[in-house]
Each structure stands twice: as C-alpha cells, then as structure tokens.
Amino acid sequence: MQSVLDRAAAGGRITPDEALELYRRAPLHALGQAADAARRRRYADTSHIATYIIERNINYTNVCVTACKFCAFYAPPKSDKGWSRDLDDILRRCAETVELGGTQIMFQGGHHPDYGVEYYEKHFSAIKKEFPQLVIHSLGASEVEHMARISGVSVEEAIRRIHAAGLDSFAGAGAELLPERPRKAIAPLKESGERWLEIMETAHNLGVESTSTMLMGTGETNAERIEHLRMIRDVQDRTGGFRAFIPYTYQPENNHLKGQTQATIFEYLRMIAIARLFLDNVAHIQGSWLTTGKEAGQLSLHYGADDLGSVMLEENVVSSAGAKHRSNLTELIHLIRTAGRVPAQRATTYEHLVVHDDPANDPVSDHVVSHLSSTAIDGAAAHPELKLIDAS
C-alpha cells in the first residue's frame, strides 16, 4: 500500500482497484500526506497558495420535472410553491455581485418544462451585455439535455448557441453519482451517467470547459465512488476539459431520502485525498466547506485540495436541504491563512487575481458574506444598504 501511495504522490498513475484499496484501507494520515505531496509536486512554485473565488449562484427557477430524491429545492410544475425570477431581478443580482467584487455567476435552477435554448440565449446575452466582466460559469449536462429536448435541437447545437450567447463554461451540475445503480436510485428521471459524460465531452470538443462534481452519501458504495472517478478520468484523458473536481456531501433535510445515509467527515477527507491521487489529469481539487463545515474545508487543504471554494453571495439548493454553514470574505481568508497557506482570489480559470501575501493588507468587509440573499435562509435578505431584492 505504501508503494502505491509513493507512486501516486510522485505523479504515477494508479488503477481503480488500487484507488479502492487506498480509499478503504490506507491510514488516514498517510493518505493525506501522499495527496498533499502530489499537490505540492503539481504546483511547485505556487504550492504555498490556496485559492478562493467570490461568486453568486443565481437560482432562476425552482420549477423542475426531474424530481431528484435528494433535492429539497424543486417544486413540481403547476405547484403553488413554484417561482421564476424575471430578467430585471436577475440583472439586479448581477449588479450586486459586481459591486461586492464578485467575478463569476452560476446560473442554476430546475428543469422548467417551458425553458428551452431560447430562454438561456436571452438571459445569457442580456447578462453579458450589461456585465461583460462577469464570467458565466453555469449549468451542466442535465440542463443541456433538457433544453435541447424542449427546443427540438441537438445537444451540439444547444451548446453552440448558449456559448455564443455568453456561457463561458459549464459548472458540472447534475453529475451526482455517475454509475448506473446509485444514479437510478436517487435521480431516476435524469440522463444516465454515460450520457452526462458524453454531453460534457461534446462541450469540451466545442471549446467549452467545465468542472466535475460528486454527491457523496446517498447510499452509494465505496466501489461506486471510485467508479465515478474512473469515468471522469477516462473522459479527461480524451478531452482535458475538466478544470476541477469538487466532491460535496448529501444534506438530509426536506427531501425524499430523509437522511437515510450520509457521508462522514472522514469519508469526505479520504475522497479529497484519493481524488488528488487518482485524478492525475485534473488540475484542481476543491474543498467544500458549504456542506462539510469550515473546519473540514480547512482540513481539506492538507489532504490534496488547492482551492477552498467561494464566498457564495447567494445559494438556495443545498441550503434548502439543510446546509447551514456560512462564511464571509474575512473568515475565508483567515481559514486559508491559518491552514498555513497564502490566500489568493482566483478567476474562474484559476489565475490568481489578488494574492494576499501580507496579512496587514487583507481585505476587511462586512458586506462580502455568503448567503446575503437566499430563499432558504431566514433573514438572508439583510444588508438593506445594498438594496437587495426580496427573494420571495
């Protein structure tokens, strides 16, 4: 086992069987040490830095036809709990994002039965016209499959059109679990994992990069978690289009799974580490403090992660399922610094925009906070000085 760890730490490729053995049985500290060595080897001159981003997840509608069992956000079509934001509301939220130093928006919502390619073309072009400095890092293969079906066009045409309208990259949404058994168990109405990857591969070949994700803790086996990684690595070998891998944990409130199973913090940290060792062709591994907590997010920086995610100005999906962790810019920088790393604000493509190499010059702001506007959090439409829009 140590020889496999040493090989992976040095940049050698490990097999799925080896990855599964390490994930199941390698001592936690040895696994983390090897993953951190792999990170330091990969980043060499910048290995002392850990990054973050300021972004906003604008949830444009909660109406959805897929009814995933882990989701507490969606409302069925014709439900009196369904809503959609108008374009003026969305543009005001983009303006607030720019005002607070945000560089990226994630435009995500339900699979609305009326929203085809034309809907996204209209909204992306309007956002880019008003805020050309904002990167639209949004949607995923599931939304592409849905909008193409609604508009009666091919997936390739849908990607070309929304990219031309302003989409910069895909956020990797909808991956959940890619292997067949766990995917059918939690999202039976979504496309297969193979189809999800096929759409991402099409996007990569059209010049639209993406991230990749994994939802942990819905009843999948350890072997299925490693198979998820294997499926991503195989596509990445062909396209090189996945910028990052982001595992996050299932939240058990207000959904049909009702907390039947959950991933522990140790399982999560082991996944961060094994992802860094196994995904030798994916540049970045992101820690998810939003679902695991700030302490676990900070620990992920010692288990192979090079990025601590975002100050997410708005988020509704996992918050609706019970994710209660909140942060702000000052605190996120503090978490990175006290993990022994130098914080740096990054762009969507991971270039360093601002490196906070001198603590005396760290930004101090009461305004740049996560969830300053959220339908899922009581009192989250605070900060009236920012003229926030009531999310309800």
Residues 117-131: pLDDT tens digits?
A: 999 999 999 999 999
Q: Is residue 390's pLDDT more than 60? A: no
The mean pLDDT of 362-381, rounded to a whole number, is 59
Domain containing 69 equals: 48-386
The two three-digit tokens of residue 220, written as one number? 């999948």
Three-class secondary structure of residue 172 per DSSP: strand
Question: What pLDDT, on a 0 to 100 scale, did the predictor assign at position 224?
Answer: 98
Provide the annotated binding site. Answer: 64, 68, 71
Residues 95-125 have pLDDT tens digits of 988 988 899 999 888 899 999 999 999 999 9
Q: Which residues pair with 138 in a beta bridge?
A: 170
First to last CA, the chain: 53
List the structure tokens of 199: 């759409």
Q: For position 387, what pLDDT does the model report?
A: 42
Instruction: Indicate which CATH number applies to the domain containing 229.
Output: 3.20.20.70
| Residue type present at position 158 | A
| Residue 258 pLDDT | 60
Q: How confident is the model at residue 250 (pLDDT cuts 50, 70, 90)?
A: confident
* Contact predicate 241/207, CB 8 Å: no
pLDDT digit string (tens) for 264-293?
Answer: 899 999 999 999 999 999 999 999 887 788
Positions at the binding site for [4Fe-4S] cluster: 64, 68, 71
Strands (E), 141-288: 169-173, 210-216, 242-249, 284-285
Is residue 162 in some structural domain? yes
Q: Return the pLDDT at 291.
A: 75
pTM over 0.85: yes
Mean pLDDT of 248-273: 76
Q: Which two tokens stand for residue 319?
A: 């918050």
Mean pLDDT of the chain: 87
Per DSSP bridges, beta strands 307-312 and 284-285 are unpaired
Whether 217 is in a domain gets the answer yes
Section 136-144 average pLDDT: 95
Instruction: Tell me whether residue 106 is in a domain.
Output: yes
Instruction: Decide if pLDDT at 191 tops 90.
Output: yes
Q: Is residue 392 part of a domain?
A: no
Give the residue among 52, 44, 98 at the shortest CA–CA distance from 356.
Answer: 52
140 in any annotated domain: yes
| Count of domains for the chain | 1
Determine, yes or no, domain membership for 42: no
**Dihedral sign for Cα atoms in the order 117, 122, 127, 128:** positive
10 against 323, higher pLDDT: 10
Q: Which of 333, 340, 381 shows the shortest CA–CA distance to 354?
A: 333
Identify whether 25 is part of a domain: no
Q: CB-based contacts of 110: which residues, under 8 Å, 6+ apart?
A: 61, 62, 63, 64, 65, 66, 73, 74, 75
- Give yes or no for a contact between 289 and 297, defined as CB atoms under 8 angstroms apart: yes
Would you say residue 362 lies in a domain?
yes
